[in-house]
Structure 1
Amino acid sequence: MLVTVLAAWLVGSRDRRRRKVGFWVFLASNALWIAWGLPAGAYALVLLQLCLAGMNMRGSYKNRQRSDG
């Protein structure tokens, strides 16, 4: 949970580098939740984290596009 909070703080930064790191931290957070959810049988949580990971990848891509142009 702390990794998720840290990621949200980083993504909310005005600094492009911090936002970029934040998206990677969010992906790590998704992986940690999945690693916990699979053995616990929390399949809805796993599905949610997969969807959120996709959104994080999209956000990272859009962040990169905005800074390049």
Structure 2
Amino acid sequence: MDEFIDFLQWPAMLVTLYAAYLIGSKRPDRRIFGFSMFILSNLLWIVWGWHDEAWALIALQVALMAMNVRGIFKNEH
């Protein structure tokens, strides 16, 4: 299980990069999907951070998740 949790940092990083790419779109539906991908990356980072007891990282991800939820509502059609 430890190896799986350690591996999560790589998909978390890739999802974060993909989300950043998507929110740069001019299309609101792609930006909303980008914020959704950011939320997925926040959750992946939280799982990884919990395992490694990285409490500052977890606090950061919770705050960023709140901003990503706000971003979804600000970008609705």
Identity of aligned residues (%): 51
Runs of 4+ aligned structure 1 residues displaced above 6 Å come to none
TM-score scaled by length of structure 2: 0.81
Provide structure 1 residue ranges, at least 5 long, that are not aligned to the other structure. none
| Residue aligned with 2:75, SS | helix
Provide structure 2 residue ranges, at least 5 long, that are not aligned to the other structure. 1-12
Computed over aligned residues only, the root mean square deviation of the Cα atoms, in angstroms, reads: 0.7
Residue of 10, 15, 18 corresponding to 1:3: 15
Task: Select the structure with the greater relative contact order (CA < 8 A; seq sep ≥ 6).
Answer: 2
Task: After TM superposition, list the pairs within 5 Å mapping 1:1-69 onto structure 2.
Answer: 1-64=13-76, 67=77
Q: For 2:41 and 2:49, how far apart are their aligned partners in 1?
A: 12
TM-score scaled by length of structure 1: 0.90
Q: Provide the aligned length of Structure 1 versus Structure 2.
A: 65
Larger relative helix fraction? 1
Amino acid of the structure 2 residue aligned with 1:41: E
